[in-house]
Amino acid sequence: MRKVIAAVLSFALCIGIVNPTIISASPKEIEESVSLLSLEKKNFIFLEGTPGDKHLVYTYESNGEIYKVDENANLDFTRVNSNIYIKNSEGEFVKYATQNAIVNTKKSSFEVTTIENGQIDTEIQKLDIVAPNRFDFGYVKPMDSYGGEPVTPWRYGDWNNGSTKFERYTVTAVTALVFAIATAAAPGATIVLGTIGAIATTIVSDEIPLLYYKRRYAEKKSTVATTLIVGSKWETIFYSDSKRTNELERTTATKFLDGYKAD
């Protein structure tokens, strides 16, 4: 059952020219693991924060054991550090594993390193870059401006399909990967994190092994400096099935240059 997540956060806008690229995440083949972290999880109880928050503490049950996870993410969810504990026979939580997730924008990859029972394992999912091949024009908003000058309407690219795999990931690591998909890993892109957290919670609690999505990119340009991209937008629809009929959520991420004024 999906949980209602009320956390609504946004990030500060960053100054810089927007990179007009679209990223499609394709799962990397990972060997089967007997890790206890990959077993079914249930009865999540969030003790501090809710999914989508940078700091999160929660417990869950798995294979007859109770686990506790304490994790922290940086501002843009490109780094997540998680400590995982298991309750012993005396009722105390003892450290069982650690997990570190990184969105590597230089290599266009999502990297997760897990240390469990002294064993170190790194999983890498490649983020393949796909450039828009066509743009459709949206409606003109004459009050939109950049530096006092008008800008073009949104120009939309084609929808692109993608999918991404989850194995042993903590809630915040899943959040970071979904965030990277929804923003195309564009630094400074803003999005409602409550929605991202809701998707992550559904993935983990419903044991969704593979997330499917389709996304399109749109941009606004200056009408004076015609090559200058003033704003970028990524619209993403997430699904739980390969036919893309069972919709989970929709997200919209945006990024604008400083000096842009909307209608």
Distance CA 222, CA 150 (A): 7
Distance CA 240, CA 260 (A): 36
Mean pLDDT of the residues in the chain: 82
**What pLDDT score does 84 carry?**
96
Distance CA 135, CA 159 (A): 11
Domain coordinates in residue numbering, the chain: 22-261
The percent of residues above 90 in pLDDT, for the chain, comes to: 48
* 148 HSE (CA, 13 A, CB side): 0
**Quick check: 100 and 77 in contact, CB under 8 A?**
no
Task: Select the more confidently predicted residue: 144 or 141.
Answer: 144
Question: Could you give phi then psi for residue 16, rounded to 5 degrees?
Answer: 155, 160
**What pLDDT score does 39 carry?**
82
**Quick check: 42 and 205 in contact, CB under 8 A?**
yes
How does pLDDT run across 2-48, given as a tens digit for each residue?
333 333 333 232 323 333 333 334 333 333 445 788 888 889 999 99
How does pLDDT run across 164-209, given as a tens digit for each residue?
888 789 999 999 999 999 988 888 899 988 899 999 988 988 888 8
**Quick check: 217 and 236 in contact, CB under 8 A?**
no
Q: Which residues of 144-179 are buried (b: 16+ CB within 10 A; e: fewer)?
A: bbbeeeebbebbbbeebebbbbbbbbbbbbbbbbbb
